[in-house]
Structure 1
Amino acid sequence: MAEVVLLGISELQRRFGGKSRQRVDQLTRRSGFPRPCAALGNGRVWLGAEVDAWIRVHRPDLNEELPDC
Protein backbone atom coordinates (compact mmCIF):
# COMPACT_ATOMS: atom_id res chain seq x y z
CA MET A 1 0.00 0.00 0.00
CA ALA A 2 1.36 3.41 -0.96
CA GLU A 3 2.06 5.89 1.80
CA VAL A 4 -0.02 9.06 1.71
CA VAL A 5 1.99 12.17 2.52
CA LEU A 6 0.08 15.22 3.73
CA LEU A 7 1.64 18.67 3.72
CA GLY A 8 0.66 21.76 5.68
CA ILE A 9 2.07 25.25 5.22
CA SER A 10 5.19 24.48 7.29
CA GLU A 11 6.01 21.47 5.12
CA LEU A 12 5.33 23.49 1.99
CA GLN A 13 7.79 26.11 3.21
CA ARG A 14 10.50 23.44 3.22
CA ARG A 15 9.41 22.18 -0.21
CA PHE A 16 9.68 25.76 -1.52
CA GLY A 17 13.21 26.24 -0.21
CA GLY A 18 12.38 28.16 2.97
CA LYS A 19 10.02 30.77 1.51
CA SER A 20 7.98 32.76 4.02
CA ARG A 21 4.57 31.55 5.15
CA GLN A 22 3.02 34.51 3.37
CA ARG A 23 4.73 33.67 0.05
CA VAL A 24 3.78 30.00 0.31
CA ASP A 25 0.18 31.00 1.03
CA GLN A 26 0.23 33.17 -2.12
CA LEU A 27 1.56 30.26 -4.20
CA THR A 28 -1.10 27.88 -2.89
CA ARG A 29 -3.85 30.27 -3.95
CA ARG A 30 -2.65 30.50 -7.55
CA SER A 31 -4.74 29.06 -10.30
CA GLY A 32 -3.38 25.65 -11.19
CA PHE A 33 -1.88 24.86 -7.79
CA PRO A 34 -3.33 21.61 -6.39
CA ARG A 35 -6.42 22.07 -4.30
CA PRO A 36 -6.12 21.24 -0.60
CA CYS A 37 -7.42 17.78 0.22
CA ALA A 38 -8.72 18.99 3.60
CA ALA A 39 -9.11 22.04 5.79
CA LEU A 40 -8.32 21.29 9.41
CA GLY A 41 -8.32 23.42 12.54
CA ASN A 42 -4.63 24.15 11.98
CA GLY A 43 -5.10 25.02 8.32
CA ARG A 44 -5.25 23.48 4.87
CA VAL A 45 -3.41 20.30 3.88
CA TRP A 46 -2.35 19.03 0.46
CA LEU A 47 -1.39 15.67 -0.95
CA GLY A 48 2.39 15.55 -1.16
CA ALA A 49 2.42 13.74 -4.52
CA GLU A 50 0.26 16.45 -6.13
CA VAL A 51 2.40 19.27 -4.74
CA ASP A 52 5.64 17.55 -5.80
CA ALA A 53 4.28 17.04 -9.32
CA TRP A 54 3.35 20.73 -9.50
CA ILE A 55 6.82 21.76 -8.30
CA ARG A 56 8.50 19.54 -10.90
CA VAL A 57 6.60 21.37 -13.67
CA HIS A 58 6.35 24.93 -12.34
CA ARG A 59 9.43 25.29 -10.13
CA PRO A 60 12.10 23.00 -11.66
CA ASP A 61 14.82 24.88 -9.75
CA LEU A 62 13.44 23.26 -6.57
CA ASN A 63 13.55 19.67 -7.86
CA GLU A 64 16.72 18.97 -5.87
CA GLU A 65 14.81 19.80 -2.68
CA LEU A 66 12.11 17.19 -3.30
CA PRO A 67 12.27 13.86 -1.50
CA ASP A 68 12.93 10.80 -3.61
CA CYS A 69 9.72 8.89 -4.20
Structure 2
Amino acid sequence: MDDVEREPWTTKDIATALGVSQERARVISHRDDFPTPIIKSSRFRAWSADDVEAWIAEHRPDRASE
Protein backbone atom coordinates (compact mmCIF):
# COMPACT_ATOMS: atom_id res chain seq x y z
CA MET A 1 0.00 0.00 0.00
CA ASP A 2 1.23 3.48 -0.85
CA ASP A 3 2.14 5.66 2.14
CA VAL A 4 1.91 8.97 0.25
CA GLU A 5 -0.32 11.36 2.18
CA ARG A 6 -2.96 12.99 0.02
CA GLU A 7 -3.99 16.61 0.25
CA PRO A 8 -7.28 17.22 2.10
CA TRP A 9 -10.31 17.99 -0.05
CA THR A 10 -12.11 21.32 0.05
CA THR A 11 -15.70 21.97 -1.01
CA LYS A 12 -14.29 22.87 -4.44
CA ASP A 13 -12.79 19.37 -4.73
CA ILE A 14 -16.05 17.80 -3.57
CA ALA A 15 -18.01 19.88 -6.08
CA THR A 16 -15.72 18.79 -8.90
CA ALA A 17 -15.97 15.12 -7.93
CA LEU A 18 -19.77 15.27 -7.73
CA GLY A 19 -20.31 17.56 -10.71
CA VAL A 20 -22.22 20.12 -8.63
CA SER A 21 -21.73 23.75 -7.62
CA GLN A 22 -19.56 24.66 -4.65
CA GLU A 23 -22.67 25.86 -2.82
CA ARG A 24 -24.35 22.47 -3.36
CA ALA A 25 -21.16 20.74 -2.19
CA ARG A 26 -21.22 22.89 0.95
CA VAL A 27 -24.81 21.83 1.62
CA ILE A 28 -23.93 18.16 1.05
CA SER A 29 -20.94 18.46 3.38
CA HIS A 30 -23.27 19.44 6.21
CA ARG A 31 -25.28 16.22 5.97
CA ASP A 32 -25.22 14.06 9.08
CA ASP A 33 -23.86 11.12 7.11
CA PHE A 34 -21.02 13.08 5.46
CA PRO A 35 -17.48 12.54 6.82
CA THR A 36 -16.29 14.77 9.63
CA PRO A 37 -13.84 17.47 8.48
CA ILE A 38 -10.21 16.86 9.44
CA ILE A 39 -9.57 20.63 9.34
CA LYS A 40 -12.15 23.05 10.65
CA SER A 41 -11.97 26.77 11.33
CA SER A 42 -14.46 29.61 11.20
CA ARG A 43 -13.77 30.11 7.47
CA PHE A 44 -12.40 26.83 6.18
CA ARG A 45 -13.14 23.12 6.31
CA ALA A 46 -11.36 20.23 4.63
CA TRP A 47 -11.90 16.49 4.56
CA SER A 48 -9.82 13.39 4.12
CA ALA A 49 -9.82 12.59 0.40
CA ASP A 50 -10.15 8.88 1.21
CA ASP A 51 -13.16 9.51 3.47
CA VAL A 52 -14.93 11.63 0.85
CA GLU A 53 -14.22 9.15 -1.94
CA ALA A 54 -15.62 6.34 0.23
CA TRP A 55 -18.74 8.45 0.92
CA ILE A 56 -19.16 9.14 -2.80
CA ALA A 57 -18.78 5.43 -3.61
CA GLU A 58 -21.52 4.58 -1.11
CA HIS A 59 -23.94 7.47 -1.69
CA ARG A 60 -23.24 8.51 -5.28
CA PRO A 61 -21.83 5.41 -7.01
CA ASP A 62 -22.41 6.98 -10.45
CA ARG A 63 -19.78 9.61 -9.45
CA ALA A 64 -17.22 7.28 -7.87
CA SER A 65 -13.82 7.32 -9.56
CA GLU A 66 -12.55 4.12 -11.06
TM-score scaled by length of structure 1: 0.80
Shift of 1:20: 1.1
Structure in which a larger fraction of residues adopt strand: 1
Aligned partner of 2:31 in structure 1 is: 30
Write the deviation string for residues 18-64 of structure 1: whole angstroms up to 9, x where unpaired.
Answer: x111111110000110010012575100000000000000001102x
The answer to whether the Cα contact below 8 Å between 1:12 and 1:24 also exists between their aligned partners in 2 is: yes
Runs of 4+ in 1 over 3 A off after TM superposition: none
Aligned partner of 2:6 in structure 1 is: 4
Identity %: 28
Shift of 1:4: 2.5
Which sections of structure 2, spanning at least 5 residues, go unmatched?
none
Distance 2:18 2:41 in 1: 22
Distance 1:11 1:40 in 2: 18
Q: Alpha carbon RMSD of aligned pairs, Å?
A: 1.7
TM-score scaled by length of structure 2: 0.83
Matches within 5 A, 1:50-69: 50-63=51-64, 66=65
Which sections of structure 1, spanning at least 5 residues, go unmatched?
none
Number of aligned residues: 64
